[in-house]
Structure 1
Amino acid sequence: MGERVRHYRRKNGNRTQAAVAGLCGITERYLQQIEAGQKVPSADVLARLAAELGVPLAALLTADGIKESSVPLTAAPAVARALMGYGRPRSSSPASPWELRERVEQAWRTWQSSKDRFTVAALVLPDLIGDVEHAVRVHRTGTDAQAHREVLRVAADLYGLLRSYCRRTGRLDLSLMVADRAIRAAEDADDPVRIATAQWNLGHVLLSHSEQGAVEEAKEVALRAVEQLQQAPVTVETKAVAGALELVAVVSDARRHHWWEARDRLEQRAAPLAEQVGEGNVQWTVFGRTNVAMHAMSIEMLAGEASEGLRVADRIDTHGLPSRERQFTFGLELARCHDLRREDATVLVHLLDLEDVAPEDLARSPLARNMILDLQKRVRPTFRRQVDELVQRLQLI
């Protein structure tokens, strides 16, 4: 174990023992003893080391280390074809912007609330993409300025949904493409709220990207959008979107292990906006007090502070959220906090509950896949059958 700690300390930044030890709340001497094999760290210290070194806990516990599971590529081919312009031919008479508005909003409601949202989206999105893009093309040369602007707004909202779908199905390339299309549509519509929302979408794509500097760039994109949004009239919508953008910056700080900066931004910038707007779902961002509290727990989970994360979670009730995805994320991070504490029975209970809440999300989540496979390796015989059956149902092997 000590050799693996030393390996990842040198590999991931080649930092000194003093620096890593200080960030993990232990003495330099204690870390020296761990790396020399003279001390075996507690589960809590080991979790802090794993979080600070940027590796899964199992990488410090297994002989060969592990690679984190990636999102399986599950985007429907028909969705990709439609985005590339290879859908079926469109009639010369497009659907009205108001009809398209209702269809896009229904697709969003389904995406946020349905257990089988990936299956439904794969069926609905191809035709919707074709119809919206056809309407944009027709109205571009038309004389009805109001209809043209409305169809551009519809397109921006659809591309926001597609950003989430493509990211969750492992197609970051398509996710980045539709995030860019959302920005262009919102700018052409001259809609400040949708421009900022499109930047929020881009921020989430960058947070998921593995390229060096992408997570930091997500914060830059978000804060630039907040600054631009300040030029628009102050409304509940502008405050909510600004709050959602601040949360992108919070996640960026946490992902880069800037824990105190993340906590301070959450408390000083995002939380006051949440108090002003209350609970809501402006532009499908689900920004509000509950979402801010969930991010507070996320920071502690990412920092390896499982006990503090669980303390924060005790004050959160997600049942009123309009988004099943956010409910799933909360449950998954709750399971992860218990996982850091090696409370395997509780982890299993939460994972089985998540399978009922959002089975398609569970099968696609890298964090969930890693957690389940790690649990399978170490779980006591009492629970092994249930874990093995979960692995089989999710087709993880």
Structure 2
Amino acid sequence: MTTNLTIGERVAWYRRRRGLSQEVLAGLVGRTVDWLSKAENGRIELDRLSVIKSLADALDVALGDLIAEPTLMDWTHDSGTSTVPALRSALMNYRQLTPLFGVPTEGEPPTLGELRRNVAEVWDAYQDSRYGLATRRLPLLLADALIAGQAYEGRDRERAYALTAMTYQGAAMVLTKLGEADLAWIAADRGLAAAQQSGDAVVTGSLFRSVAHCLLSTGRFDAAVQLVGDASDYLRPGLGAASPDFLSIYGTLFLTGSMAAAHSEDRGMVRSFLAEADQAARRLGRDANHMWTAFGPTNVAIHRVAAAGELGDLQVALELAPQVDTSNLPTERRARHNLEVARALSSHARIDEALAVVLEAESWAPEQVRNHYLARELVLSWVRNHRGRPGQPMAELAKRLRVV
């Protein structure tokens, strides 16, 4: 479906395809007909995933169907002309998954040092919101990681499996950002299997976070909350002598859980998860980027804003947001926070300020802003509801996001 429809218009389109009246659909989601009519006509912004998911469930469609994911990935200097399809082929190459067919490993294994540097390059690209670069590098990196896992023995094999797990996780994180939820799930599942073979609790904890993100991206919010609880039980015995890497993975897991709980509208669990993350951040003592988590007090504060926004407490989000200085965090975190700030500003009809915040995020992370449903929905709603012709900055942004 084209990206120049609002979420409300997609709801109306699927409602008619299902042969449902507004009265029936409104009843299924516990809303009034007036509310649904305004949502379908763009007079109410559908910007909370919990609300969108309830509509998707009632219409028996995927969450991604209503938020128009995935979008076509642009060809850029970073990506070249080989993007998601090449990564899909790499993930679905069954010959690399099992020795049962007797297929020999092709090529010389990379050194562990070389593999580690290449994994770091992909993760750095992800945190810089350079998804084209990460997507281009991942197919070859996955092949090298699998060769290394087969070629090395003993402790080196365990290290190779740990790097393989982090490669799969990098793929899952990028694919989630691109709206490729099913492919991301495959990558996260494979990564968790490799992590378990590595025997590394930190890497395993990192993959738990990735699986939780995949559950979130498909609207399985309660399952993500449960996973965070189970994973924290698994990791908790290691807290006594926890390294900075361990603390960062542990705390970030709860940040993911806080968003899952917010999407489930479970305020008590949101508070509990954020408190656990805050405790880990205080113990870590400062903002850091161990295991590419960007974890620390500032990331906890970012999630407080995001959770408030998702719970509909937009005034709270607006009050908290100015207190958060993201200048020392990776680009991905800074841009994501800006989108939450823009949502809160937009809800208070402060459109010019919200537009400025989105434009700032786009200047840092154009690929991230273009691929995030919230940016597309906000900008499209501003254009649709603007009296007269929108100003040049708004119109040009809408054109770049392909929503008009």
TM, length-normalised to structure 2? 0.79
Give, as a single letter, the amino acid of the residue that structure 2 aligns with 1:227. D
| 2-structure distance, mates of 1:381, 1:349 | 20
**Map of 1:302 onto structure 2:** 310
Contact 1:73/1:170 (8 A) holds in 2? no
For residue 241 of structure 1, what is the aligned residue in structure 2?
Answer: 249
Match of 1:330 among 328, 333, 337: 337
Q: 1:341 pairs with 348, 356, 359, which one?
A: 348
Q: Partner of 1:152 in structure 2?
A: 161
Question: 1:193 corresponds to which residue?
Answer: 202
Distance (whole Å) between structure 2 residues aligned to residue 174 and residue 55 of structure 1: 22
Q: State whether structure 2 residue 320 is matched by structure 1 residue 320.
A: no
- 8 Å CA contact 1:112, 1:325 repeated in 2: yes
User: Please, which runs of 5 or more residues in structure 2 have no aligned partner?
Assistant: 1-20, 39-43, 54-64, 74-82, 97-103
Matched to 1:376, the amino acid is: V
Match of 1:221 among 224, 227, 240: 227
User: Partner of 1:94: helix, strand, or coil?
Assistant: coil
SS at match of 2:237: coil
Alpha carbon RMSD of aligned pairs, Å?
Answer: 3.1
Q: Does 1:169 align with 2:168?
A: no
Q: Could you tell me how far apart the structure 2 residues matched to 1:207 and 1:198 are?
A: 14
1:63 is aligned to none
Q: CA deviation at 1:53?
A: 7.8
Query: 2:403 corresponds to which letter in structure 1?
Result: L
1:111 aligns to 2:164 (yes or no):
no
TM-superposed CA distance for 1:206, in Å, is 0.2
**1:126 matched residue in structure 2:** 139
d(CA) in 2 for partners of 1:274, 1:178? 28
Aligned sequence identity (%) = 26
Question: Which of 259, 262, 279 does residue 272 from structure 1 map onto?
Answer: 279
The size of the alignment, in residue pairs, is 350
Q: Distance in 2 between matches of 1:129 and 1:180?
A: 14
Deviation at 1:318, TM superposition (A): 0.5
Secondary structure of the residue aligned to 1:54 is helix
Shift of 1:264: 4.0
Based on CA coordinates, which of the two structures has the bigger radius of gyration?
A: 1
Corresponding position of 1:54: 51
Residue number in structure 1 paired with 2:373: 366
Separation of aligned partners in 1, 2:262 and 2:24: 23
Amino acid at match of 2:68: S
1:10 maps to which residue?
27
Deviation at 1:205, TM superposition (A): 0.5
TM superposition shift of 1:113 = 2.1
TM-score of the two chains, using structure 1 as the length reference: 0.80
**Mapped contact 2:165–2:190 kept (Cα < 8 A):** yes
Counterparts in 2 of 1:52 and 1:181: CA distance versus 1, 3 Å: closer
Rate the CA distance shift 1:215–1:87 in 2: closer, same or farther, 3 A.
same
Pair 1:97-2:112 in alignment: yes
Supply the AA of the counterpart residue of 2:331. R
Task: State how far apart, in whole Å, the 1-side matches of 2:135 and 2:203 are.
Answer: 25
Task: Work out whether residues 153 and 185 of structure 1, in 8 Å CA contact, stay in contact via their aligned partners in 2.
Answer: yes
Kindly indicate whether the alpha-carbon contact (under 8 Å) linking 1:104 and 1:157 is maintained by their aligned counterparts in 2.
Answer: yes
Note the C-alpha offset of 1:87: 10
Deviation digits for residues 172-226 of structure 1 (CA, Å, limit 9, x no counterpart): 111111111111111111111111111111001001113xxx2111111111111
Q: Which of 206, 209, 223 is matched with 2:215 structurally? A: 206
Aligned amino acid, residue 51 of structure 2:
G
1:308 is displaced (CA, Å) by 1.4
CA distance in structure 1 between the partners assigned to 2:52 and 2:107 by the alignment: 54
Equivalent-residue separation in structure 2 for 1:106 and 1:247 (angstroms): 24
Which SS does the other structure have where 1:319 is aligned? coil
Q: What CA distance in whole angstroms lies between the structure 1 residues aligned with 2:52 and 2:179? A: 21
**AA in 1 matched with 2:259:** V
Task: Quote the residue 1:68 is aligned against.
Answer: 67
Kept in 1, the 8 Å contact 2:201–2:235? The answer is: yes
- Cα pair distance change 1:338/1:157, threshold 3 Å: same
